[in-house]
Amino acid sequence: MQIPKEGVRLHKTNFAAIGQQLQPLLESGDCYRLIIKPWSEKRSLSQNSLMWMWNSDISTQVNAISTEKLSDEEIHEFLKGMFCPEKEIEILGESKIVRSTKLLDTEEMTFYLRRIEVWCLTKGIKIRIPPNSEYHTKRLINE
Start-to-end CA span in the chain (Å): 41
Residue 140 is predicted with a pLDDT of 58
* Domain total of the chain: 2
Residue 48 is predicted with a pLDDT of 95
**Could you read off the pLDDT of 11-70 as tens digits, one per residue?**
888 888 878 888 888 888 888 777 777 777 788 999 999 999 999 999 999 999 999 899
pTM of the shown model: 0.72
Please state at what angle helix 106-123 crosses helix 45-65, rounded to 10 degrees.
Answer: 20
* One domain for residues 111 and 55: yes
* One domain for residues 81 and 45: yes
List Cβ neighbours of 13 (8 Å cut-off, separation of 6 or more).
none
* One domain for residues 30 and 44: no
Domain membership of residue 126 as a residue range: 40-142
The residue among 42, 46, 53, 54 whose CA lies nearest residue 103 is 42
Give the Cα separation of 96 and 74 in Å (integer). 22
| CATH code where residue 100 lies | 1.10.3790.10
